[in-house]
Copies of this chain bind each other. A is one copy, B any other.
Amino acid sequence: MAFCEEVFIEGLTEQGMERVMSIKVAINGYGTIGKRVADAVDAQDDMEIIGVTKTRPSFGCDLAVRKGYPLYCTYDDESKIAAFAAGGYQCEGGLSDLLEIADVVVDCSPGKVGASNKEKYLAADVKYIFQGGEKHAMTGMSYTSSANHLENKNVQGTRVVSCNTTGLSRTLVPLYEHCGSLSVECTMIRRAADPGDSAKGPINAIKPVLKVPSHHGPDVMTVKPEIAINSMAVAVPTTLMHCHSIVATLPDGHGLTTQSVLELWKSNPRIIIMNGAETNITTTAEVMEYARDIGRKWGDLHEIFVWEDGVKLDGNTLYYFQAIHQESDVIPENVDAIRALMGTEDDWRVSVAKTDAAIAIYNGI
């Protein structure tokens, strides 16, 4: 682990000093998630990208070069490192070289290589963040900004949960904290492939996840164990977003109304609430178009989208739909998780505000 320098320059205000302290972040795996985390980190003033890894010289390296991120090889093998130069890319070394200068590594590897990577991170004494593709059992710690930021303070490693779990956490945690208990059944209608993935199907079918209940919902309990939740899931032929159909049972005496549930969510970050009838945003297609319109990079939507007119509290039963941008909702949580692990910000709301302001600036809005 690199020494996280805090450069005290005489005469600087506290705010000024904060700015010069910069967490050194490595991205191991520069793909769909990695490229987004890199840019989100890069937009912050308290952290910086010191390198990203690719397995081999390929067109995907061009984006890193364009961004000015130092390029490393996922492996330490000399011949694999040398291949980059042969492919016309400057490679700064292998993963070990990168870990040596990093404070924290964000693991965005696609495959199931988590366990072996964890060994490397531990050996290098670097803090690490895995993504939701890995199991909680591997890290023993999971993270979403609103659920358990403080519990993640100063830990060696954690796991930012999946896009679906992150999305559920965003709307359920505030409900739980208001009500004191919560029981949830959720059906996840999942996009079958990402927009840039042309290999996967189905083209014309619905594919239920036959393991019932599915693993998706209960994963929320890795960040907020008090929420009782089960889920079922199907994959459908769309690339844009997941959609959750949620039935939450509130405890007696919850004191909420449909309107006050909406207010509760509006007072929490990273939730967008819009009225479908008024905005004509009635499908995930128009939600994504909205993200394009407001100038979001990659057309991303970091927020969870809730249709105002698709929420109904009927006695103790709350029905609602939410749409999840699978490529991006976890991106800001990764930034917050870095601060949690590095112990540089205790208040999750402060971290979220800082993260989002920086991303918004970089998004040009």
Interface size on A, residues (CB 8 A): 74
Which of chain B's residues have a CB closer than 8 A to the CB of A213?
Answer: 312, 314, 319
Q: Does A278 contact B (CB under 8 A)?
A: yes
Q: Does A255 contact B (CB under 8 A)?
A: no
| Nearest neighbor of A363 in chain B, beta-carbon distance | B364
Q: Does A181 contact B (CB under 8 A)?
A: no
Q: Does A86 contact B (CB under 8 A)?
A: no
Contact (Cβ within 8 A) A199 B198: no
Per-residue interface assignment for chain A, residues 272 to 295, with 1 indicating a CB less than 8 Å from any chain B CB and 0 otherwise:
000011111111111011001111
Copies assembled? 4
CA distance A292 to B286 in the complex (A): 18
Contact (Cβ within 8 A) A285 B202: yes
Besides A187-B232, A196-B288, A232-B319, 11 other A-B contacts (C-beta < 8 A): A59-B281, A185-B247, A196-B285, A198-B207, A203-B204, A203-B239, A205-B285, A210-B276, A211-B310, A213-B314, A236-B236
- Could you list which residues of chain A lie within 8 angstroms of chain B, going by C-beta atoms? 35, 58-59, 63, 66, 185, 187, 189, 191-193, 195-208, 210-213, 230, 232, 234, 236-241, 243, 245, 247, 276-286, 288-289, 292-295, 297-299, 307, 309-312, 314, 317, 319-321, 323, 364-365
Q: Enumerate 17 A-B pairs (CB-CB under 8 Å) in ascending A order.
A: A58-B280, A66-B294, A193-B203, A195-B289, A198-B202, A199-B201, A200-B200, A200-B201, A202-B283, A203-B203, A203-B237, A203-B238, A206-B240, A210-B282, A212-B319, A232-B247, A234-B245
